């Protein structure tokens, strides 16, 4: 029997206590699979006195995670504090400086400082693993970094923020406006302290940028992710989309094109009867497309104590088994600085506009679309009682550039009554 692998766990919230519970419950199973015992030697959190419904009496307590990270009796620093700066960053840097392996659930930290951390870790011969940072319990980092390592990756897509998916799903099922469901989600504790991280697409954008770095061998570049949140999605759009056979999801897409790396996290329409369209509330789905494997779809719980702790433990057991990978699947120094390109791959688009109710209005719109090279797949004009007419258009495949051109053209016609909503349609 090898020596035990000793963990120091920084952060005892829902994920940290989840990890403690797994290790207490499954000591024998983990030893059998990992080839050596995995033990916790020390933990840290802000509040020592809080009741956490888990027995911590066997572990040393550190009030400072940096001190925890430096302890001689810690082999793996498990960082489940969260946040891109402050104690999480300081302690992770301290652990790496001390040559310790790091297992983290912290997408923000890696999305913003992943390259520097990866370089520091490699210089020290330490490993950073972060399965829990992306899509909760779904082993997608592993699938992409290892399982699909023989593929040139064509595209990575995913619904990776359960809170946004909950809000959009609930708006549709209950017929409630965004503001009301947002408030419900807040009361249910689904939202981050800064809710913009969720509904602004930032959290999901962090995750997408990590997948893109692995997929395309580029330095993680969260700054280059085009972010659009769900705050402007109206119940009208959800209803109209449903009428036409679509649902709205906050969907991330990353792909390498001839012009550079496209990364986009934005609301999209997906067919209601597609796997993405049928994704329930808090669930995540990631789609990986490789040149040999084709499309691999992974679905599971994107958050929560058990699923996230499961991902942490997968990384810990990998390390127990002696598996040691570069952070983003290849040496950090070999990652290329990506050329960011505007996400412009052709796709059908949904357009919702309101026209002034006067003769020739629709003809003007149709003319603008034609001039922009956009052809119409389907069009609906709804009955109306005032002087303006709601019109829905589903286009054939076109670029975002062409759509932007058309939106400017619509305004110039002088027949618009209000803003036009344009949402990309993805077929998965």
26 binds its own copies (CB under 8 A): yes
Count of residues near its own copies by CB under 8 A:
59
Stretch that binds its own copies, among 29-37, 49-57, 194-202, 242-250 (CB under 8 A): 29-37
Q: Nearest distance from residue 241's CB to its own copies, in Å?
A: 19
Q: Nearest distance from residue 144's CB to its own copies, in Å?
A: 9
Integer angstrom CA distances of residue 57 from 41, 66, 117, 244, 410: 11, 21, 32, 58, 67
294 binds its own copies (CB under 8 A): yes
Stretch that binds its own copies, among 120-128, 319-327, 391-399, 417-425 (CB under 8 A): 319-327
Stretch that binds its own copies, among 45-53, 61-69, 309-317, 365-373 (CB under 8 A): 309-317
Stretch that binds its own copies, among 33-41, 157-165, 178-186, 355-363 (CB under 8 A): 33-41
Q: Nearest distance from residue 6's CB to its own copies, in Å?
A: 17
Which residue in 100, 107, 207, 249 is the catalytic one? 207
Q: State which of residues 13, 35, 37, 195 lies at the interface with its own copies (CB under 8 A).
A: 35
57 binds its own copies (CB under 8 A): no
Q: State which of residues 2, 173, 180, 323 lies at the interface with its own copies (CB under 8 A).
A: 323
Structure tokens at 29: 């199973």
Integer angstrom CA distances of residue 146 from 150, 252, 385: 8, 21, 59
Q: State which of residues 281, 300, 390, 409 lies at the interface with its own copies (CB under 8 A).
A: 300
Q: Nearest distance from residue 106's CB to its own copies, in Å?
A: 18
In the block, tokens 């009554």 appear at: 417
176 binds its own copies (CB under 8 A): no
Q: State which of residues 86, 99, 175, 322 lies at the interface with its own copies (CB under 8 A).
A: 322
Question: Could you write out the DSSP letters of every residue in 94-154?
Answer: HHHHTT-EEEE--HHHHHHHHHHHHHHHHHHT--EE-GGGSSTTS-HHHIIIIITTTS-EE
Integer angstrom CA distances of residue 15 from 60, 67, 109, 194, 303: 19, 20, 16, 19, 9
- Nearest residue to 142 via CA among 323, 334, 20: 323
196 binds its own copies (CB under 8 A): no
CB 92 within 8 A of CB 102: yes
* Subset of 75-134 contacting its own copies (CB under 8 A): 131
State the CB neighbour count (10 A cutoff) for residue 161.
32
Distance from C-alpha of 276 to C-alpha of 270, rounded to nearest angstrom:
7
State the CB neighbour count (10 A cutoff) for residue 324.
12
Sheet containing 128-129: give its strands across. 60-62, 38-44, 5-10, 76-79, 101-104, 128-129
Residue 207 designated active-site: yes
Stretch that binds its own copies, among 27-35, 62-70, 222-230, 374-382 (CB under 8 A): 27-35
Distance from C-alpha of 322 to C-alpha of 290, rounded to nearest angstrom:
27
Q: Nearest distance from residue 245's CB to its own copies, in Å?
A: 14
- Nearest residue to 1 via CA among 221, 302, 406, 320: 320
157 binds its own copies (CB under 8 A): no
207 binds its own copies (CB under 8 A): no
Stretch that binds its own copies, among 76-84, 103-111, 311-319, 368-376 (CB under 8 A): 311-319
416 binds its own copies (CB under 8 A): no
3-state percent helix, strand, coil for the chain, nearest multiple of 5: 40, 25, 35
Integer angstrom CA distances of residue 53 from 12, 18, 38, 50, 90: 11, 10, 21, 9, 28
Distance from C-alpha of 199 to C-alpha of 204, rounded to nearest angstrom:
9
Q: State which of residues 242, 297, 340, 362 lies at the interface with its own copies (CB under 8 A).
A: 297
Q: Nearest distance from residue 373's CB to its own copies, in Å?
A: 33
Integer angstrom CA distances of residue 125 from 99, 119, 120: 7, 10, 9
Q: State which of residues 150, 189, 359, 414 lies at the interface with its own copies (CB under 8 A).
A: 150
First and final C-alpha spacing in the chain: 47
**C-alpha 158 chain-centroid distance:** 7
Q: Nearest distance from residue 253's CB to its own copies, in Å?
A: 18
142 binds its own copies (CB under 8 A): yes
Q: Which is nearer to its own copies, 65 or 139 (CB)?
A: 139
Distance from C-alpha of 357 to C-alpha of 384, rounded to nearest angstrom:
9
| SS3 (DSSP) at 190 | coil
280 binds its own copies (CB under 8 A): no
292 binds its own copies (CB under 8 A): yes
Rule CB under 8 A: which residues touch its own copies?
18, 22, 26, 29-30, 32-35, 131, 137-139, 142-143, 146-152, 217, 273, 275, 278, 290-301, 306-307, 309-314, 316-318, 321-326, 329-331, 334
Q: Which residues are catalytic?
A: 207
């Amino acid at each position: 029997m090898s020596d035990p692998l000793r963990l120091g766990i920084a952060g005892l919230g829902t994920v940290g206590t989840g990890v403690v519970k797994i290790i207490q419950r499954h000591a024998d199973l983990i030893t059998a699979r990992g080839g050596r015992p995995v033990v916790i030697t020390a933990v840290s959190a802000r509040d020592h006195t809080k009741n956490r419904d888990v027995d911590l009496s066997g572990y040393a307590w550190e009030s400072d995670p940096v001190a925890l990270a430096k302890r001689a009796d810690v082999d793996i620093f498990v960082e489940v504090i969260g946040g891109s700066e402050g104690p999480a960053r300081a302690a992770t840097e301290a652990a790496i400086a001390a040559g310790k392996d790091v297992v983290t659930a912290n997408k923000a930290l890696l999305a913003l400082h992943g390259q520097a951390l990866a370089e520091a870790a490699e210089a020290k011969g330490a490993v950073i693993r972060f399965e829990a940072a992306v899509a909760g319990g779904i082993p997608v980092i592993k699938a992409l970094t290892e399982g699909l390592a023989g593929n040139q990756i064509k595209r990575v897509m995913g619904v990776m923020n359960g809170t946004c998916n909950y809000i959009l799903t609930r708006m549709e099922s209950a017929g409630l406006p965004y503001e009301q469901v947002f408030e419900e989600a807040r009361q249910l504790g689904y939202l981050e302290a800064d809710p913009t991280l969720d509904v602004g697409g930032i959290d999901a954008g962090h995750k997408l940028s990590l997948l893109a770095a692995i997929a395309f061998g580029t330095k993680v570049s969260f700054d280059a992710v085009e972010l659009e949140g769900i705050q402007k999605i109206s119940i009208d759009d959800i209803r109209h989309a449903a009428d036409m056979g679509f649902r709205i999801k906050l969907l991330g897409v990353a792909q390498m094109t001839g012009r550079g790396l496209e990364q986009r996290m934005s609301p999209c329409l997906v067919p209601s009867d597609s796997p993405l369209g049928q994704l329930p509330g808090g669930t995540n789905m990631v789609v990986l497309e490789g040149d040999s494997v084709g499309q691999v779809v992974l679905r599971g719980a994107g958050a929560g104590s058990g699923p996230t702790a499961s991902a942490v433990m997968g990384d810990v057991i990998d390390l127990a088994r002696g598996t040691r990978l570069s952070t983003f699947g290849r040496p950090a120094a070999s990652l290329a600085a990506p050329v960011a390109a505007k996400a412009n791959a052709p796709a059908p688009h949904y357009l919702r506009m309101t026209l002034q109710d006067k003769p020739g209005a629709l003809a003007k719109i149709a003319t603008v679309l034609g001039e922009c090279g956009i052809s119409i797949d389907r069009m609906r004009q709804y009955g109306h009682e005032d002087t303006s007419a709601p019109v829905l258009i589903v286009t054939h495949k076109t670029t975002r550039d062409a759509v932007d051109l058309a939106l400017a053209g619509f305004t110039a016609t002088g027949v618009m009554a209000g803003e036009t909503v344009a949402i990309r349609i993805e077929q998965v």
